[in-house]
Structure 1
């Protein structure tokens, strides 16, 4: 008797339509939002808060860590190299990204699809695999050196990795899709007849591009600059692998202070300063994006 009753009860439950009953005073949507906020606080804000707090507490409470950072010649060298490599990387990425995006807009449908596939393909490959590929290509015994020596352009192999050149090349390769896509999205929205109209009014092709097309593509360029600038400051794996310990940037330097020298004061202070710089860049670029996308008043 018990088994048939249980089967009947199971069928009754299986055919029933269930609804999540909201907690008194809270809807399901409110619960999901609160849960997401709690996860964000636990996994993101609390660790960041702990890093900031440690920068003022270890080893002695106060602002001594920040004062010592500004007097540390090694930190100055690392920060200077980071800013130089980041600026060079962002500039090259924006230049190559703009040229590629412009070629995408001008290409036919079939060529555009193939080019977009080529742009998106690196995003499906692990950055670790890409870095190893660059090492295999550019090392003294790699393919590039072998070809250059065979063609007579080099007498002996040169190292194109484990230096600043390899780091910049790897970073540009990684960030190119993030520059191309927003620039292309903005260019695709531009009326293709506008440059032709400018030329019909007497403008040269160069003037039509500089005075018509380039200003209209500015929002996409600003978005690409924002993404690449933020990413370039926090690069860790690519400089560590392609720099070979000779080109140390801020993120790798912080890792060394935590895992090798155990200088938590330097690590947390630099992390806090990097967080402040990143926040300032986010605020500044957000303001520039608002100006770039603002409609002119009539």
Structure 2
């Protein structure tokens, strides 16, 4: 990188430093100074049963959301990359339209659909399938559904990149050797898209770790995740030191996952 490139990137680096690095350093300072200097807040964050329970719930929800999002995105991407013109157009609309709708609007939309007096329960009761409304929100089910809906489009792009890189000659050769479609898919096609699957998994999991709006609305305070716990500790308790310590730990975890994703991307490029 030449000095000219560095000069051109200078304003952007200054903006990113002012917007992200400086606030993060302030949060780090809170974590070791409030309410008193030391690492006591980190010990609390790593040993407190309440915090550990929220962390475990977050990891469990994120893992489930990642599996469901990547699996659904894989099917959509397969149709998008290898389907007919009409199917591709439909999938493209399904991928692009969610980007035009804010996460807050989507969360309230799911709340209107799934609440006890929502459209889904009303329809099921009208046709006689159920007599009492199902509890579809203010629990982990609603949180997972809302997060999966938001994250599927993000998983599509790394999968599409790996699927488009598959050598058709390999598939034709296996087909010519008499392999069935199912065997070609599971033993040839899926392994050849492994880099895209891993990239999608890491991308979705990192996004899911920091979710706040969707769990807060669809969870109704009964499925608190790490980001919501940080908000509660800083703005409602207030326990700024503990909230800051949890924030730093979360940032370190996200940074490690991003480094792993970049390493995997470089390895796939080679």
Q: TM-score, normalised by structure 1?
A: 0.85
1:166 Cα offset (Å): 0.4
CA offsets 1:194-244 (integer angstroms, 9 cap, x no match): 323202113222221122211221222122112101100000000001101
Q: Take 1:116 and 1:79, find their aligned partners in 2: how far apart are those partners?
A: 35
8 Å contact from structure 1 (residues 140, 158) kept in 2: yes
1:193 Cα offset (Å): 4.5
Q: 1:114 pairs with 90, 101, 104, which one?
A: 90
1:187 Cα offset (Å): 1.2
Q: Take 2:227 and 2:254, find their aligned partners in 1: how far apart are those partners?
A: 13
Greater radius of gyration (CA): 1
8 Å contact from structure 1 (residues 92, 172) kept in 2: yes
SS class of match (1:145): helix
Q: 1:124 pairs with 96, 100, 110, which one?
A: 100
Relative to 1, partners in 2 of residues 1:67 and 1:30: Cα closer, same or farther, differing over 3 Å?
A: closer
Q: TM-score, normalised by structure 2?
A: 0.93
CA offsets 1:39-84 (integer angstroms, 9 cap, x no match): 2221111111111122111122111111122221110111111010
Q: Counterpart in 2 of 1:289?
A: 265
Q: Counterpart in 1 of 2:191?
A: 215
Q: Counterpart in 1 of 2:112?
A: 136
Q: Counterpart in 1 of 2:42?
A: 66
Q: Counterpart in 1 of 2:217?
A: 241
Count of aligned positions: 269
Q: Counterpart in 2 of 1:267?
A: 243
Q: Counterpart in 2 of 1:154?
A: 130
1:185 Cα offset (Å): 2.8
- What are the equivalent positions in structure 2 for 1:1-298 lying under 5 Å apart? 30-294=6-270
Unaligned runs of 5+ in 1: 1-26
1:286 Cα offset (Å): 2.4
Relative to 1, partners in 2 of residues 1:98 and 1:43: Cα closer, same or farther, differing over 3 Å?
A: same
1:29 Cα offset (Å): 5.6
Relative to 1, partners in 2 of residues 1:252 and 1:118: Cα closer, same or farther, differing over 3 Å?
A: same
When the two chains are superposed, the root-mean-square deviation of aligned CA atoms in Å is 1.8
8 Å contact from structure 1 (residues 161, 167) kept in 2: yes
8 Å contact from structure 2 (residues 203, 261) kept in 1: no
CA offsets 1:150-203 (integer angstroms, 9 cap, x no match): 232211111211110000000000000001122123212323453232021132
Q: Which has the higher contact order (CA 8 A, sep 6+)?
A: 2
Unaligned runs of 5+ in 2: none
Q: Take 2:44 and 2:162, find their aligned partners in 1: how far apart are those partners?
A: 45
